[in-house]
Amino acid sequence: MEHLVGQKGQVVIAKEIRDRLGIGPGWRAIQRIVGDHVELSFVPPRHSRSLRGVLASKLRRRPVDLEAEEETAMEGEVSREWRVGEGDA
């Protein structure tokens, strides 16, 4: 791919290259001379979006309330012991 250097020294990075590398607005272009050519590296901008809830759709159920689970288990155990005790009398 060939592009002309503009009057201000700007060069267009082809859309195919930007798409393949995921380069978007706000990315930094690092320029380095390597031998007789220029090497470009791209650095994405700092992350500014919240990641809260990103995995929500992957969870099968909400986090367990351990105190409520323990209380329910204890009630079931007491009830079972009560029924077993009634059958012995």
| pLDDT, tens only, 9-62 | 999 999 999 999 999 999 999 999 999 999 999 999 887 777 777 777 777 666
- State the pTM of this model: 0.48
Eight-state DSSP code of residue 39: E
Position 89 pLDDT exceeds 60: no
CA-based nearest residue to 44, from 27, 69, 66: 27
Question: In the predicted model, what is the mean pLDDT of residues 64-71?
Answer: 77
Q: What is the structure's pLDDT at 61? A: 65
Q: What is the structure's pLDDT at 81? A: 65
Write the burial class of residue 27 (CB in 10 Å: 0-12 exposed, 13-18 middle, 19+ buried): middle
Which one is predicted more confidently, 47 or 63?
Answer: 47
Q: Among 41-45, 68-72, 74-78, which stretch is predicted with the lowest mean pLDDT?
A: 74-78
CA–CA–CA angle 79, 85, 89 (5° rounding): 145
What does the block give as tokens for 52? 């809260």
Question: What are the strands, taking DSSP E only, across 8-75?
Answer: 28-34, 37-43
